Amino acid sequence: MEAPYWKQKWESGDIGFHLDRPHPQLVRHFSDVEPGVVMVPLCGKSNDLIWLIHQGHRVVGIELSRVACESFFAENSIAYNIREEGAFTVFEGERVTIWCGDFFSAPDAAWTGCTALYDRAAMIALPEDMRRSYTTEVIQRWRASPGAPMLLIAVEYPAPEPMGPPFSVTESEIANLYGQAFEIRQVNRARDPILSDRAPKFSGIEVIEKAYRLKKI
């Protein structure tokens, strides 16, 4: 989706995708990751960032909306400094830095030192053509050593045409986009009750959430 779409979502408060708790699959499948620097693309104001910090990680997020960035620090009472770096506004607090701007324009400095990646809301937020560009960007920018982990959470649902966001991202698509750079293992499959039961546009459609552990080859 284009930038104005997501900025309007945050400015209007239409953020049903935001969870008021850490994602259960993050807690279940990332607890064994050694403390390091975790990149979180399209991070919003996610409570997942706080959970990662409490696990001893330093967190680097990339987020388009300034509203989301400011809300994250305000709602979690985290002091921060702001600096401008190129087209980005950088929010920097203790153990967390959020680069505010277009993910596809983020400088190498945003990725420097990252040892793990967590994607709960990035890949499924993008239509098919942008997903290919997104995964290409991840592979090119993330220069972590072999074995570095990624946790990817995606949803699948039957539909004759794209209904997202969130978009349906199949196992075969993930394998096609990431398979040359990562070993991929599905670690969880479960019905998504929030989308299946509460989201009007998915009425009558069963949405399946899948979690994947990826290891850089």
**Could you give all domains of the chain from N- to C-terminal order, each with its CATH number?**
3-13+20-216 (3.40.50.150)
| pLDDT(80) > 90 | yes
Gap between the Cα atoms of 90 and 78, Å rounded = 14
pLDDT of residue 212: 98
Model pLDDT for residues 205-214, shown as the tens digit of each residue: 888 999 999 9
* Residue found under tokens 């990332």: 30
| CB neighbours of residue 215 within 10 Å | 13
Q: What is the pTM for the complete model shown?
A: 0.93
pLDDT of residue 8: 72
Determine which helix (DSSP H) or strand (DSSP E) holds 119, and give its type and residue range.
strand 116-119
pLDDT of residue 202: 75
Model pLDDT for residues 28-64, shown as the tens digit of each residue: 999 999 999 999 999 998 999 999 999 999 999 999 9
19 against 70, higher pLDDT: 70
pLDDT of residue 1: 54
Model pLDDT for residues 125-177, shown as the tens digit of each residue: 999 999 999 999 999 999 888 899 999 999 999 876 667 789 999 999 999 99
Query: Between the CA of residue 204 and those of 24, 145, 163, 209, what are the distances in Å?
Result: 24, 44, 13, 16
- What is the mean predicted confidence (pLDDT) over 115-127? 94
- What is the mean predicted confidence (pLDDT) over 186-200? 80
End-to-end CA distance of the chain: 30
Determine which helix (DSSP H) or strand (DSSP E) holds 7, and give its type and residue range.
helix 3-12
pLDDT of residue 206: 86
What confidence tier does 110 reach under pLDDT thresholds 50, 70, 90?
very high
